[in-house]
Structure 1
Amino acid sequence: MGKLFLVGTPIGNLEDITIRALKTLEKADLILAEDKRVTLKLINHFNLGKKELYTFNEVNSKRNLPEVLTLIRNYNSIVLVSDAGMPVLSDPGYNLVNACWEEGIEMEVIPGPSAITTVLAISGFPASKFLFLGFLPRDKKLRRLLKEIKDFKYPVVFFESPHRINKTLNEILESFGDIELFVGREMTKVYQEFFKGRVSEGITFFESKNQVKGELTVVISP
């Protein structure tokens, strides 16, 4: 029976990958990739050779789970990666990992970069305890969630898309008041940008841009 490796990949700058991750990818018989194009870019950048890639993402993960389990049994080394950061964290893979536990399939984690820990480290907020919410829900569900965490005593971290950031910040302003927050955009990439200030200042900051691009990770202060 084969073995599944959960490999963390860079959140932006490819040079952030670990030596152990590179060795694991190089030896892999098959790589389960969220997006083949993104993973292929990583493989080619480090000249890891020709690799067999299998698309395993949020859309097909449940449907293709039985086939993937069969592949793991038939190969020696299977690697699971997401487009960026650690697999399973707001990325596909939970169902596969759970199924591997049930099937007695051996697994190993190769730790790597994470947008969550990266943004907490640079935010200047106390980070020994925090709440991670992934991508926030919309409209009424968002308001309900914000109400639930209003009195939370530790930083709250979540992901947000560029075209929703201002709407979300307005909802936070209405629910929490003008608290402090931190936003990391395109972290470790060429156009990396950080913002720290009050929610109202953040709204003004992002409204002043013609178009917000890239991925955003937000930290709400305690």
Structure 2
Amino acid sequence: MEKTGIKTSLKRTGALLSCLLLCILVLAGCGRSLVITTGFRHGEVFRLGKEKCRIAEMKVYLLDLQKQSEAMYGDAIWESEAKEDLQQAVKDQALAQLTRVKALKSMGVSMNIMLTNEEEDLAAAARNKYFAALSQEEKKYIGLDEKKILKVFEDYALAERMWKSFGDSALQEYEKFFEKTQCDLNIKYWQKVSLKKIEGDPQAPGFIECCEEQFAKDRAFLTEETEEDGAEGSTAAAAGE
């Protein structure tokens, strides 16, 4: 289980808007693509070109990162003085991960690249293990049945495949995509999303863990930084002014 991402994100404090803006800026590598607008349907978190992300899908990532945090700091973290900083860190990280997945998936679709039958079977196997390990409370929180949650695994599989296919030029291709793709963030809705303790087995395999076991042997495509990451501190300060 990777802890570096949470530890790094936990250091990000400041205004809520600053965190949200920074998250997209870092991921996109191009601030021009970020548009905060209205007109979203209920439950929509963001739009990336033709791709849409709804809260149920986001909750898969939120739950994964939340359980990592609880494993590191204990269940009582959500009642501690650090809960606001940690909650924002988890939200930033989840938004970052799913934005990258949606971007890479969109790139694959635009190139008419689809999963093979074998890859679909591996995604289904990962889904089966993950879904079987969820508690009833966790299933209720996510709000996706087995059929719908399969798409979350298939999106991840295609994103990971696209990243590998680009090889050493993956970051450059990723940044080019954002130069011509608009990202709309439903900021008012996202601000209201909060985390709370959800009863479940702390030893149960998480979403990304199940993906890695079946088809994604590393999560480099989720964690490798763009060139914009080095300017993180100054960007956050400017956004908070």
TM-score by length of 1: 0.24
TM-score by length of 2: 0.22
Q: Say which structure is richer in helix.
A: 2
Structure of larger gyration radius? 1
